[in-house]
Amino acid sequence: MSSTTTTQKAPTAGIVTKDTHGNDFRVPDYTIKDILQAIPKDCYNRSLVRSLGYVARDIAMMVFIGWAGNSMIPMVALPLVRGCLWALQLYLIGLFGFGLWILAHECGHGAFSDYQNINDFVGWVLHSYLGVPYFSWKFSHAKHHKATGHLSRDMVFVPHTQEEFVEGHGANKIGEVMEDLPIWTLAVLLFQQLGGLQFYLATNATGQSIPGVSWWAKSHYAPKSPIFEKNQFWYIILSDIGILATVFGVYTATQAFGAFPVLVNWFFPWLWVNHWLVFVTFLQHTDPSMPHYSEKEWTFARGAAATIDRDFGFVGQHIFHDIIETHVLHHYVLRIPFYNARKATKAIKEVMGEHYRYEGESMWKSLWKVLRSCQFVADEDKNGVYMFRNVNGIGVRPQ
């Protein structure tokens, strides 16, 4: 435990501020002990056989979809119909590919099984195949969970403060910043969804600012990046080896089978996995109703509550392994496997009360609304609680 944590003053109780839309936001005052005591003990049970069964299912579905498409689509005479079927194939493979990504994510948290060496091996293989450096992600992601919602210590989706936002637009005050046009929001959306993950891995974009360090030196691929601890050096090397093995495998497959089969069976599904990851994680941590905290007012229980559960229907529950529907619980307890998360979520909702956040509208609609309304955070009441604001005329006007 750091000295900063041990000397931190007790957070203030009973804080009330205004969210983006002007609604009262009451800062939670319950403790992590209250949450943990509410969760049934059997929710912690992990089964290696069951977890491997889900891995086998997702891989089998990807193989079957690829085999069926590669066998039948070329026989379709109409080019337009054939093109639509290829698009459907790569989309479906991408869905189950993201399912595999989630299972690898469970490995990194130790929720996959009781055997961490097996977890790491399975996670390394799956994440490497999907173009993610396993241990690099595991280590930085663990820091994110330790400081979720902390404005100066969280590791990803760290919002600009109002001062940073104004400075970035070259203005002296918020009133001089022009309202963003919807076309600009659309451009940001496209870049974020297609390239956001790789940009984050390569440059630590949306993570904490590290002055004086080049973009490559703070990359997830750099073994000496300040993101990591010194004793993690060789794990980062192993992560890079996994990525290089995947690149070599893709190159070899292209030489053996041609570019088109690789594009429709790996590359475009890989783009879909990139999209789903950014889409899901962005909406789990960004919403007009959610806060960020200063050092003084942050607690682990408050930070974990600064997340939101959403609903993605059949795909969310059965293909994305409930990562969307039970994410709040995931931030309180990492080692509960996804197949026990709904039961545990029901238990913690009794403790969280009004502080449990859920949004059941279309996530595509939420994505657009969040991009337009959550541009930066401001502590207008000077109480250490930062709420989202924007210059698009949505909700409370920034001061």
Instruction: Give pLDDT, residue 181.
Output: 62
Nearest to 290 by CA among 309, 275, 271: 309
Nearest to 90 by CA among 264, 225, 311, 228: 264
Query: Distance (Å, rounded) from C-alpha 277 to C-alpha 252?
Result: 27
Residue 9 lies in a domain: no
Residue 182 lies in a domain: yes
Instruction: Give pLDDT, residue 5.
Output: 41
Instruction: Give pLDDT, residue 175.
Output: 63
How high is the mean pLDDT in each 10-residue block of the chain (399 residues)?
Answer: 48 95 96 96 98 98 97 95 96 98 97 97 98 94 93 89 85 66 72 77 74 78 90 96 97 96 96 93 95 96 97 96 97 97 97 96 94 94 95 91
Instruction: Give pLDDT, residue 3.
Output: 37
User: Which of the 8 DSSP states describes residue 355?
Assistant: G
Residue 4 lies in a domain: no
Instruction: Give pLDDT, residue 157.
Output: 85
Residue 28 lies in a domain: no
Instruction: Give pLDDT, residue 155.
Output: 86
Instruction: Give pLDDT, residue 8.
Output: 54
Cα 323-363-330 angle, rounded to 5 deg: 20
Provide the Cα torsion 195, 230, 119, 218; round to 10°: 0
Give the burial string for 236-253 (b: 16+ CB within 10 Å, else e): bebbbebbeebeeebeee
Instruction: Give pLDDT, residue 212.
Output: 73
Domain hosting residue 339, numbered range: 43-389
Residue 223 lies in a domain: yes
Instruction: Give pLDDT, residue 273.
Output: 95
pTM of the model: 0.89
Q: Are 220 and 235 in contact (CB under 8 A)?
A: no
Residue 120 lies in a domain: yes
Domain count for the chain, please give it.
1
Provide the Cα torsion 67, 68, 72, 73; round to 10°: -90
Residue 157 lies in a domain: yes
User: Which residues pair with residue 378 across a beta bridge?
Assistant: 387
Instruction: Bin 156: left if φ > 0, else alpha if -120 < ψ < 50, else beta.
Output: beta
Residue 305 lies in a domain: yes
Instruction: Give pLDDT, residue 4.
Output: 39
